[in-house]
Amino acid sequence: MKETPLSNCERQFLLKAIEEKKRLDGRQTYDYRNIKITFGTDYGCCIVDIGKTRVLAQVSCELVAPKDSRPTEGILFFNLELSSMASPAFESNRQSELLVKLNRLLERCLRNSKCIDTESLCVVAGEKVWQIRVDIHVLNHDGNIMDAASIAAITALSHFRRPDVGIQGEEVTVYALEERDPIPLSVYHMPICVSFSFFQQGTYLLVDPCEREERVMDGLLVIAMNNVKITWNNQSGAFLNVQKTQSNAFHVR
């Protein structure tokens, strides 16, 4: 089903409200909606609510052959899905621009920041490594899927346990969860995304846009950062993903 277009009237109303520093749900410019994190019964299952946006992340693992270029490293795989359950505008099994963008951002935020140690996921170099798969389902869409997805993914990864592996000689045993306590992933740091949206050529800026606001925004800035100064990537703590910015400069206050 196609997205219901926003009427001009509504659009102008929203923009006018933003100009007056008012938001539909009564928030201030820099107010974030309440975040609720709940865990499922399984290891690596996590649901994150930001306002009415709701995202579920489930981590699973399996033994696969490693990539040729990195024989001693495990594989981290992210898969975000937008089903029509979240919004009638989303269509399952279709690569939309938004979907590609979200998946790409998630990878940059969680894989490229090296927050999960993939080297310890190696079982036999060049033959068997753990593939950690993070499936993220958007259950309800009320804006800011990216923030919710990044929080859900990193919490689920921290909550996840993989089966223990024993190596004796050239024999490898994978122990069932009852036989041996499963092992948590080593999480070096926790990058979390915060989204800012721009309106009126970058004159106004809101944190954590809701769905309506996202529809009238000009641009979006996603900053992923972690809590501590960790020397990954020779950067000092944060990395920027700037998207679709206007030609005007924007200010992060």
Q: DSSP letter for 19, please.
A: H
| Locus of tokens 């993989």 | 162
| Nearer Cβ to other proteins (122/156) | 122
Task: Tell me the site size for other proteins, rule CB under 8 A.
Answer: 22
Applying the rule CB under 8 A, the residues between 85 and 104 that interact with other proteins are none
The span of 9-17, 78-86, 116-124, 240-248 binding other proteins (CB under 8 A) equals 116-124
**Applying CB under 8 A, which of residues 7, 168, 236, 247 lies at the interface with other proteins?**
168
Q: How far apart are CA 200 and CA 29, in angstroms?
A: 15
List b or e across 156-183, with b for residues whose CB sees 16 or more CB atoms inside 10 angstroms.
bbbbbbbbebeeeeeeeeeeeeeeeebe
Q: Give me the least distance between CB of 187 and other proteins, in Å please.
A: 12
Amino acid in position 151: I
Q: Give me the least distance between CB of 166 and other proteins, in Å please.
A: 9
Q: What angle do CA 237, 203, 25 make, to 5 degrees?
A: 85
**Applying CB under 8 A, which of residues 10, 25, 31, 181 lies at the interface with other proteins?**
181
φ, ψ at 232 (rounded to 5°): -100, 145
Q: Is 122 in the site for other proteins (CB under 8 A)?
A: yes
- Note the residues at the interface with other proteins (CB under 8 A): 68, 71-72, 117, 119-120, 122, 124-126, 164, 167-170, 177-181, 186, 231
